[in-house]
Chain A
Amino acid sequence: MSPKARIMTVLGSRPFLTLLVVAAVWIVASFATRGFGAFGHLRYLVELAAVIGLVAAGQTFVVIAGGIDLSVAAIVTVAAVGLPLVSSSADPTGLSAILLVLTMTTAIGLVNGLGVAYLRVHPMIMTLAMATFLQGLLIIIAGGSAVSLQNPLVGWLGNARPLGIPAGVVLWIALAAIVLFVMHATPFGARIFAIGANPRAAELSGVPVPATTIAIYGVSGLTAGLAGVLVLGMNGQGYVGIGDPYLLASIAAVVLGGTSILGGLGTYAGTIPGSILLVTITALITVVNASPGWRSILFGSLILGLLLLSGREAARR
């Protein structure tokens, strides 16, 4: 492909178009609303988007592989509520608690994967059941009360701004680099696309389908856990339900970014602007002075509208 053709491909690609939409909304909103375009505000939007971006990283893998993970919200909550509970004063850095929680959420994802790969439970059923199970468990363990954070590393992650950039955004950038590398530059990534496009053909080509599937859901558990740690740091305390907004958001970010909900096609490069777009919409709705009920209705309708505009796919199989 000639360099010019390559540039044209990039310019016409969904990730780039989503980015253009974000830029357009930002510019229009900056003129329409006082303070929207301030650097501090935009930085805050990206910081909020980082949480969605982390959850949606695992979700992108799962959706490309032809599945869906409906347990991400519950996993975010598990991490945010569980971390204060497992934090011990014996470790002054707080790192051990983070690692423990991430191991836990990864294990939850692996169980999802086992169910999908070996028990042949449909991903929707498997992950929804897992979410319900986790919610019950959380209510038993944490009850209705919020748990406060006593973990220096998590606090730093949620509040520090090295070089003016929020630590959460730094974490997002680092994770995005890894995700994009794994997705597009390793055989593992190629296998995921193959499984999503045609699982039977992938299997007959020698792709270890069950092992890959399990790994993907494990990754989704890990990134949802990371998001939970970040949201806890930003919030200061964890409570049951803290992860709830991230289920629809993660799926919407994936699809807004141009990843096919049918699997087999897509990229995390689109999910990134997709996440920022979602946060921007939420911010705009907040500006409109409406009751929480109407805000939710507006948000749902807007996402549906955007997906109808952008996520419609031609019949292809």
Chain B
Amino acid sequence: MANTAPLLTARGVSKAFFGNPVLRDVSIALLPGRVHALLGENGAGKSTLINMLSGALRPDGGTIEVDGKAVSHMTPPEARQAGIAVVQQELSLTANLSIAENIGLGAYPRRFGLVDYAELASRAREACALVGLHEPLSTPVGELSLGRRQMVEIAKALYRKPRVLILDEPTSSLSATETRILTDLLERLRSEGTAILYISHRLNEVMALCQHVTVLKDGSVTSDQPLEGTDAAGLVRLMVGRDPGDLFPKWQPSPSTAAAVSVRGFSAGLMRDVDLDIRTGEVLGIGGLVGQGQEDLLLGLYGAIPAKAASAMVNGNQALPSGVPKANALGLAYVPADRKREGLHLIHPIITNLMLPAFARLPALKPRNRGNERELAHSLATQLGIKGDLGRAAQALSGGNQQKVALAKWMPHEPLVLLLNDPTRGVDVETKREIYIMLRQLAQAGKAVVLMSSDTPELVHLCDRVAVVREGRVAAMLEHGALSEEAIVAAAVAADKPKVAA
């Protein structure tokens, strides 16, 4: 496969936004039959580079070449015509349209000027089969879990039969099984001669899948080399620019075992009849395949969706919280997985985002003290290492910093129970590490931390216990000693085996 001409090349491209250089003299060549990894921390310029490769942005300097020919002013439709498909990190699906309609959107087969639905269905089915989507094609995408939506997004890219496939963190919301399907698929596409650019924060995936790596740091290429002979630690070193140390802090047994939350016969959303104790001083992991009801468990405990329980004790209170304000009053806090839609007010300043839980519980008409607000926000920002002017809109922050804001806003209220929904999704390695350290410190300080995660290594290394959820029930409760990625995955899929075997 060596010595084949690159299908898509960026040569010395630069880009600046509002005078801030985001990319400086970056070159990358995508060869057919090769999976090329693009690594870098959040804000390193990965998304900008992708946008230029797919025609969404025009480089300030340098050239984009398709099949060795420089194309100036490539537009997204022209890029699609050239066989370049992108699976964006921000899902671009329309919730009200069906799976088939989403997959074909913008490229519907026509017949007599009308959409040929039969043809669309058969071609969409083909694309779905590739990614293992078995849901009826007429299902509205809005009814699918995040992981399944991601698979639709990938099917959408495949529908166009691309020669160059760019994937921006495709696995960040996928379960282990779905990730495996994707890995097999990419392997096959590669052998068929597709050029693949693969972006992920999960280094073991990169190690397993990719042959070549380009590392971006602060907008410049720091490394462009074959992956052979490099290990995961070496990659982290290239990304961070220094020795990574251990990603996870050292695990220590929890100091106390008092129950902060205790429910019996708890039901909410997909969760049915669950018994669960959450202890102070522990990090309790919630694992399992995506979409088994884990999120409903957190939201139910938080009073954000209707829930009932045979008996419940929440921080001394003998009932489930009736709503979010009540849950907050009982010392519960929740950090959602979808930062942009549920966690933050993107158009509002960072400082307002940080203060919102305070605004929610202060007396409604008590005059605000802006000086105190600024002081508190600054100390929170310093404490969590949130960079940048706090008066800017939260949408200006990188993903990792947004996540820190979503976490930081609860800190002044010292929640006893912290419910975290995939807090490290799409967060760079360095921020992940900071979050891990913080979670262990919180547990050490006697808080109960509930960590729902789709990232199995973090469940293994960070948690005191892991509840594996399957089909709305806690299928297994694994103690720290018994934790391993194999044990979690086994518990997550065990009951599925007889059914899936078909």
Contact = CB atoms under 8 A, between A and B. Distances in A.
A194 B357 CA distance: 11
Contacts of A207: 325, 356, 359-360
Given A182-B365, A316-B347, A204 B342 contact: yes
B368 A204 contact: no
B33 to A, nearest CB: 39
B341 A187 contact: no
B214 interface: no
B348 interface: yes
A204 B343 contact: yes
A195 B324 CA distance: 14
Contacts of A264: 345, 347-348
B324 A190 contact: no
A208 B336 CA distance: 18
B364 A188 contact: yes
A317 B348 CA distance: 12
A293 interface: no
Given A187-B368, A204-B334, A208-B325, A194 B304 contact: no
B395 to A, nearest CB: 8
Contacts, number: 94
Contacts of A317: 346-347
A186 B366 contact: yes
Interface in B352-369: 352, 355-368
B345 A201 contact: yes
A200 interface: yes
Nearest to A262: B347
A206 B360 contact: yes
A191 interface: yes
A205 B368 contact: no
B477 interface: no
Nearest to A265: B347
Interface in A186-234: 186-188, 190-191, 193-194, 197-198, 200-208
A90 interface: no
13 contacts: A185-B367, A186-B366, A187-B358, A187-B364, A188-B365, A193-B348, A194-B345, A203-B324, A204-B342, A206-B328, A207-B359, A208-B360, A317-B346
Interface of A: 1, 181-182, 185-188, 190-191, 193-194, 197-198, 200-208, 264-265, 316-317
Interface of B: 302, 304, 323-325, 327-328, 334, 336, 341-348, 352, 355-368, 391, 395, 409
Ranked 10 nearest A-B pairs via Cβ: A206-B360, A188-B364, A206-B328, A190-B359, A187-B359, A187-B362, A197-B345, A207-B360, A205-B356, A198-B345
